[in-house]
Structures are given as structure tokens and as C-alpha cells.
Structure 1
Amino acid sequence: MVAGITASLDPASRVAGNPEKLSANAKLSFQGSIVLGLGFTMEPADAEKLIAHDARNSDVLFPYLNGQDLNSDPNCAASRWVINFHDWTEDRAKAYHACYEHVLREVKPERATKSKDIATWPWWRYWRSRSELYGEIAGLQRVVVLTRVSKTVMPVMVPTGQVFSDAVVVFATGDTAMLALLSSAPHYWWAKSRGSSMKTDLRYTPSDVFETFPLPKLTQELRHLGDRLDTFRRDVMLARQTGLTKTYNLVFDENCTDKDIEELRAIHRAIDEATVRAYDWEDRIEAVGGLDHGFHQVGRETRYTIGPAAQREILDSLLELNHERYAEEVAQGLHDKKKGAGKPQADEGTLF
């Protein structure tokens, strides 16, 4: 039985309304830095020369991880480095003479041609540095990240100590249980229903997707599977010399029966099952015929994922849980608008 049929002949959801942002998810997900100036970046060899010339330059030179690196590099490693003067004054930046001169030469003239807001912004700084992001991850060795616009919507673990571009979403945790959760079908279908699209890709907006996503208990089972996914997938990508996109093109291709790809599918099945257990939703999933893993249509693409009935049940259950959690937070006074709850920080602006 379904709640009804929509005008498009799809089964209707049993839950009405939109999800709300949850205080429990605040300060956990961030868009990376909006650098606004290719002149900040350079080849790794050039950065190495600057550091070799003056070791202090390591204070302001970092690997620069962008979305293309995450999608295409087998190590998910940065292909370029970047100068970062943080939120410093110009006088402090000048102390790093070679890097300052590089930005003066390569960035300042470009910024001067932009709109008034940009042209008058301190040209030695990023347009949006995302200082809150780097403050939240300062004590972590690794974090979970995903490409903001992609078809795969698959997170990976990467080291901290680098600058993340605005094409990367960063989750302020090194917990592999979170890696597993964000790799699950429940999270993918929530993102699919709450994010926007760019051509055939999904645009992941932290405020719309993650901040509304009600989290289950992060169990040891999820943590174990996150470890397994991280280790095994990295080995597959390195052995094949493929990035996330090409690797998951094989995962989603029903004609590919290679042993390593079959194992990767098995890990994702186990993650989905563990996620359902973490939410304590086994009975409701069983009632709709189980998760029904297979090659299912997603728009014009095929994806190895859970079946349509399970998708609907999980989306309804997540929305119900979001409403329940939000009501609890309201009762606790966590969404008192008079206290400025939910207002963006000064560093959260964008160009869009």
C-alpha cells in the first residue's frame, strides 16, 4: 500500500512539509575557501623552491585540493599549491617577501578589474577564507570531504594541513563511521532530493543537505565498514590508477563483474544495511520488500543502489525524523530567532 499517487504517477510521500536545519548538525559541514584569484596558486615544484629558499614560507604555502583532484586523482591528492595569508594584515603578509610579491604581481591586477566589492577587498586575502572551517578541523589529522558538484556524491578521507577549494565540501570529523554514513544510499537519496542539479550532476549544498539530515547513532559497525571502504577503495584506485569518477563508473556498470568492483559493491551493500540498523528501521524496510540492491535508474544514468520502494520509505522516514528532531530542538530553545540562531557568519558569503 502507498499513501497515494502523484500527478506524475509516482507514489505519494506519507510525510508533508520541508525539512528544517538542525542545531545538532551545525558547524559540521562547510564549503571550502573561495580564493578568487588563480594567481594565488602555483605548481608544487614552485612551492618547494620557495620553501627551500626560506623555510618560513611553509607558514603560507599549502596543497590546494579542488573538486577535480578529488574526482580524478587516484590518491585524491592536490595537483597544485596555494599561498594563504589567512586573515592577516598586509604588513604581516609582507614579512613573507617572495610570496607577497607573487600575489602582488599575479592577484592584485586581476582583482582590480572586478566589481567594487571585490576590487576594494584586501587583495592579499581570499574572498572567503572560511576561517570557521579551519578552526573546527585544527586538531584533526584527517577529515571527510566530497566534491560539491558531482555524479558520484562519494566522500573520501583526506589529510588536513591543506587549503580546500570552494568546489569541496568538508565535514569537520575524522570519524570513519561518518565516512560510511555519508557513503550510504540513505544519505545519497537525501542529497538527491534536497540538493540542486547542474546538468546531470548533483550540487551538494551543506545548508540544504547535511544541516537538515538527521543523523543516527554512529555505531562501531559503521566505523568498521568506513575503515574497510577507505582502505579497500584506495587500493582499488591505486591499482587501477583511476579516480573516484572512473572507479564508480565501473561500480554503476552492470556489465562490470571484476572481482574488486564486486567487492566494492558488497561493501556499499553492507554500509546501507548497517545504516538502516543504526536508525533502527529494519522493520519498516522489511515491510517494503527490503533494500532491493541493484542497478536502478537515476534520471538518465544507472546507479548501483537501493530500489524505489526502499528509497521512498527512507526519504519519508528521514523527513519524519527531521521534523521530530527539530521539534525537540525548538522545545529546548535552540531555535530562538531573537538570539540570532541560524544567522550566517560573516565569513559565509559567496559570489552567487
Structure 2
Amino acid sequence: MVVENYVNPRKAEWPQADFVIGNPPFIGAASMRAALGDGYTESLRKTWPEVPESADFVMHWWDQAAELTRAGKLRRFGLITTNSLRQTFSRRVLERHLGGKPPLSLAFAIPDHPWVDSADGAAVRIAMTVGTLQTGTGALLTSAAESPVGDGAIDVTLIAKHGVIHADLTTGANVVSAVQLEANRDLSNRGVQLFGAGFIVTQEEAAALGLGSVAGIEKHLRPYRNGRDLTDTSRGAMVIDLFGLNAAQVREHFPAVYQRVLERVKPERDQNARASYRNNWWIFGEPRRQLRAALLGLPRYVATVETAKHRVFQFLDASVAPDNKLIAIALDNAHALGVLSSSVHVTWALSSGTLLENRPVYNKGFCFETFPFPDTKPEIKTRIRDLAEQLDAHRKRQQAQHADLTLTGMYNVLEKLKTGEPLNVKEKVIHEHGLVAVLKTLHDELDRAVLDAYGWSDLAPLLEVVTGNSAPGASGTPATRDDCRRALDDALLERLVALNAERAAEEKRGLIRWLRPEFQIPASGLTQTPAAEQLEIDTGEEAAIAAKPGARRPWPATLPEQVKAVAEVLAAARAPLADDAIAACFTGRGPWKKRLPQIIDTLVAVGRVRRRKDGLAVIA
């Protein structure tokens, strides 16, 4: 194997110019080593430490162009990039320059546009941005309609808005400025990640392994649901969950299960590069300890599919093990389900989340943990709770009666009912089997109730047009449904951003509106007193002191071991830690401290760690 070593790597000097226009290579962060080689990739990342390692290759061009523009060496630059420009790691490049001194401004942007990759002809989604040092508003163009016209070409109808363009390529309310709220902490988690297909069994296989005949095994043979199980047709799969048992206990009490995982899981795990996965082969690779603690004692919890066309929330029984592609929210009250299912939260989630191709992604850190729930009057809370229970029961009842009925199908038809589009033959069947008109009335009433809960009933006329219940122009609304949709979204986001800031200020004073205080307060170590913030600061300092030389360990040699070590330090800490406090737990020479923030960011991105509004890191 040839290993290339780049001696004295440095940034390329760009020729003098007034304007730069480019279409840099579309290489994702995960593909860079394969496409460019280990040596080049390592040298690139060493030379550009300010660009997160998980950012796409194109962001190095964007960063360089922005630096030159802010230094006055370029008047403007325009780049075509992947549409992941708005996602967590790539967006940080934009945030640094838009918030710098002097600040860069975006004069033009298209956040999501179809494109054909010249390398292989694949259809991809791209973004276009123009950066300038001139402050002011920019033109934001968004796709309103896309129609194939032959030969792979697509006719795109764009709608222009003018305003300050933010790092997430939106105008209006600056959603990316929202901070994670203590009130929502410790409740949302991704589901378990198996790392072994042999854990999954059919109901017949579960019975053969002892379900229904071996005492205690029902705790370890659980229903298992992934994204398709919820959005489409459930497989009815079960999973072997041996968390909490050692291998000897499994062999002694459940020998048939032991043999199953020994033969079907261990061979796969033996090939895994991570030692913890190899050594603990009988349990899930990521068993989600925090999720289990949060769900303990609950009869049910709220779940949503991480990446899905429609943002739907539903209750799952506590016995169900959620897959890694589900976001589980440890709340069992229907009021929470109702608020999450409302257009208020869905609008927030669509704006604060990201996209995978053209499908919305629900990132728990951005979509749930920043979302300010309403401070609801008892009678409105009861109404929301009742409607949410009806909504959840209605969908499950209709699906139980019609085996081929899916949530995706029901919500596709629901969208057509809102717009007034005619239904085809298949959709008419779904409409009848799913009683989708009933589904629509439940959502309509729920949306109005949640607006009332926030005290925003003045937005009801816009909502009525958007949901297809009244014509555009009525009650002073804009002339088209699309205009009403944009006006409603803008108003909701502006108010939610303001409410997030208000709640964050309250929390800084010690007032935290816990969603589940009986669990969250003990888990957080905080108290509901004005001194809560000071107590956090004090314990954070104590943790930093405790992390000094006596407990120091050598900095690991490989990236997987480094990520694991940082996660272990945060898990063992008594309080949130600053980056310097984490670094103080390790010894070692070289530039490893420069990579520590990126490792923490990686843990944040996968849901293992979260950063508080003061920048301290804490285990998620």
C-alpha cells in the first residue's frame, strides 16, 4: 500500500481577482479519504483546522473565498455547493464568517436546487451562494415547483424573498440563533443501534427461543420498530435485547438465546474494529443507556422517524425497542404529543432541521431541545390532550383494520385534501380506509388549540387558508395559499425564536419550565431556584479542578479511541465541562488539542453529547 506524505502542506495562493465564481468538487466528508487519499485528506484538514472535519470538501473553497472577501481582496464570490451547506458542520463555516469582524453578508442564495452531477450523471441537490462584504439584505430564491422536461432537465419555478440571509440560508427569523433549553434536556434520544443483524428475530423465532414458555425472557425479546415500520407496513419484528446481563448470565438462564447470538452475532462483531463492540458482542453496539434511564417507568413514549417525508409523531408502547433511525422522546402525556404534532412544532422542525436529499431530517438537538413549549392554561391543555389521544387512536385503529394502510399514504392524501387536488383511484381507497377526512379535522382542531395555547389565535385566519378550510383573501389574508403559507411560517418562526430567547433568559435566572420535572431535576442535578445557574457554574468549576493531573490519561492514538475516551470523560464528570477541562484529563504531545473541539462536535452530531448555551459540553 502506498502512503503519500505531504511535506509542509499550506493553503494554495489564489490569483488576484475581483470576483470568484466556481463549482468545486462534490465530495462528502465521509468520501474524502477514498477519493483523495489519506495523505491528502490529513494534510488538508491540518492546513484548514477552522473547517470542521465533518464538513464537505467544497467548504474549503467557501472558507477561502470568504476569508479573501472579508480581507478586501475579493469584491464578491459565488459558489455552487452541495445543499448540505446548511447542515451542522458545513454551516459552522458560514456562521464564523457571517458573525466575524468584519462580517460577511450573503447577497444571493438558493438553498436547494436540482442538479445533475457531471461525474456520473446522478441527480443531486445543490445550493448556490454569493458572498460580499457589503452589508444589507440579500435575495433568497426557493423552489416553488419542479417539473421534468425531458433529457434529465428539470424546469424549476423559483420564488424570491429579500432580507438578511442567515447561515441556514433563510431570511426572517434567525432560527439558528435558538439555544437548547434546559426545560427539554435529557428527554430525546436516538434509538438503539444493533451492530448485528442476528439480534432481529421473527415472532415465530422468538417463540422458539422461549417467549411465552421461559420465565423472564419477555424482558429480553422485545418488539422492534424502525422507520419503515412506522411510516409504511410494520414487519412485526422482535429483537433480542440482553442489556444488563453478562454473557454467563445469558448462557445460564436463556441458553437458546445465547446460542442464537453466539452463532449469528458474535462472528460479525469479531470483525468490528471497535474493541467494546467485540468484547460485548451479546448486547447492542449502542444500547442507549440514557434513553433507557429516561424511559424507565413510562408506559409509553413519543416517537418520530428521523428522516421522513411527513413529520408525524405517535405513541409507542414502552415495550417497543426503537431503532437508531427513530427519535424517541421520553414523554407519555398526550399534551406533549399534541403540541409536537401541531403545525407550530412541525414548522419549527422543518426550519431548524436539515435535509437528506429532499427529505426533512429531525435533529433532536436543533428541533426538539430548542423548541419552547407553550405555558398552557388547564382547559386548553385538556383540549390538546384529548385531541392528541383521538389522533393517535384514530390512526392506529384504521391501520389495524386495513393491513395495507400506511401513514405515508394517509398523509399524502391529507396534503391533497388541504390543497383541493383531486384524488386518484388508489388515493380514494386510502381516503376511505384511513378516514382521512376525520384525520384532517383532528389535525385542524389540534392546530387551532395549540395556537390558542400560545396566545397566537390571531394567526388562525392564515391557518384556515393553509389547511384548506377557507379561501385566500378571506379575513384580510394574502391572495394565494402559498403566500398565506409563507406568512404563517414567517410569523410562527419569528415568535418561536423570540420565545426561545425569553425562555433562555428565564433559565439563566434559574426559572426552568421542566417538561418532566420528576425525572429531569434529579437527572440534571439542578434545583428549581434562582441559584440554579450559579450551582451549575460552581459544579462545573469543581469538575474542571477534579479533572486535573491526578486523573489524567494518555491521549489515545486512533480516532475511534479518541472519540470513545472523550465520551467516557464526559460521562464520568459530575457536571458540564469546558473544552480546556476535558483536555486537562489527558496527556500527550502533538497538536491533538486542536482536534478536541471537532471530536466533541462529532459526539454532538451523533447525539452522544450536547453543548449548552454557555459552550460547556455535557453527556446527552
Considering the TM-score relative to the shorter chain, is it more than 0.5?
yes
| Closer/same/farther in 2, CA of residues 292 and 5 from structure 1, 3 Å limit | farther
| Closer/same/farther in 2, CA of residues 98 and 270 from structure 1, 3 Å limit | same
Query: How far apart are the structure 1 equivalents of 2:394 and 2:289?
Result: 33
- Equivalent position of 1:7 in the other structure: 139
CA deviations over 1:176-201 (Å, ceiling 9, x no partner) = 11111111111111111111111222
- Equivalent position of 2:186 in the other structure: 27
Once the two structures are superposed, the pairs formed by residues 1-352 of structure 1 within 5 Å of their partners are 6-8=138-140, 9-10=160-161, 12=163, 13=171, 15-16=173-174, 18-51=177-210, 52=212, 54-73=214-233, 79-95=236-252, 96-117=254-275, 119-217=277-375, 219-241=381-403, 242-253=405-416, 254-256=421-423, 258=431, 260-283=435-458, 285=459, 289=462, 292-294=465-467, 307-332=485-510, 333-334=532-533, 336=537, 338=541, 339-340=575-576, 349=608
Query: How far apart are the structure 1 equivalents of 2:355 and 2:607?
Result: 21
Contact 2:277 2:285 in 1 (8 A): no
SS at 2:303 equivalent: strand
Contact 1:63 1:78 in 2 (8 A): no
How far 1:54 moved relative to its partner?
2.8
SS at 2:339 equivalent: helix
How far 1:160 moved relative to its partner?
1.1
Please, what TM-score do these two structures have when normalized by structure 1? 0.85
Which residue identity is paired with 1:250?
Answer: V
CA deviations over 1:137-157 (Å, ceiling 9, x no partner) = 222222211111111110112
Contact 2:271 2:278 in 1 (8 A): no
5+ residue gaps in structure 2? Answer: 1-135, 141-159, 164-170, 469-480, 511-531, 542-574, 579-599, 610-620
| Closer/same/farther in 2, CA of residues 188 and 5 from structure 1, 3 Å limit | farther
Query: How far apart are the structure 2 equivalents of 1:23 and 1:108?
Result: 40
Contact 2:172 2:490 in 1 (8 A): no
- Equivalent position of 1:299 in the other structure: none
Which residue identity is paired with 1:272?
Answer: D
Between 81-90 and 228-237, the greater mean CA deviation after superposition:
228-237
SS at 2:189 equivalent: strand
Contact 2:299 2:318 in 1 (8 A): yes
Contact 2:189 2:607 in 1 (8 A): no
Query: How far apart are the structure 1 equivalents of 2:162 and 2:333?
Result: 36
> How many positions carry a matched residue from both structures?
334
Query: How far apart are the structure 2 equivalents of 1:134 and 1:78?
Result: 23
Query: How far apart are the structure 2 equivalents of 1:138 and 1:291?
Result: 40
Query: How far apart are the structure 1 equivalents of 2:467 and 2:219?
Result: 49
How far 1:223 moved relative to its partner?
0.5
| Closer/same/farther in 2, CA of residues 205 and 239 from structure 1, 3 Å limit | same
Query: How far apart are the structure 1 equivalents of 2:492 and 2:299?
Result: 33
Identity %: 26
| Closer/same/farther in 2, CA of residues 341 and 153 from structure 1, 3 Å limit | farther
Which residue identity is paired with 1:10?
Answer: K
Contact 1:144 1:155 in 2 (8 A): yes
5+ residue gaps in structure 1? Answer: 296-302
CA deviations over 1:285-325 (Å, ceiling 9, x no partner) = 26x85553247xxxxxxx99x72101110011111111111
How far 1:114 moved relative to its partner?
2.4
How far 1:105 moved relative to its partner?
0.9
| Closer/same/farther in 2, CA of residues 6 and 313 from structure 1, 3 Å limit | farther
How far 1:237 moved relative to its partner?
2.9
Contact 2:462 2:485 in 1 (8 A): no
- Equivalent position of 1:300 in the other structure: none
Contact 1:20 1:322 in 2 (8 A): yes
Query: How far apart are the structure 1 equivalents of 2:445 and 2:275?
Result: 49
CA deviations over 1:94-131 (Å, ceiling 9, x no partner) = 22211111111111111122223465441111111112
Bigger Cα Rg: 2
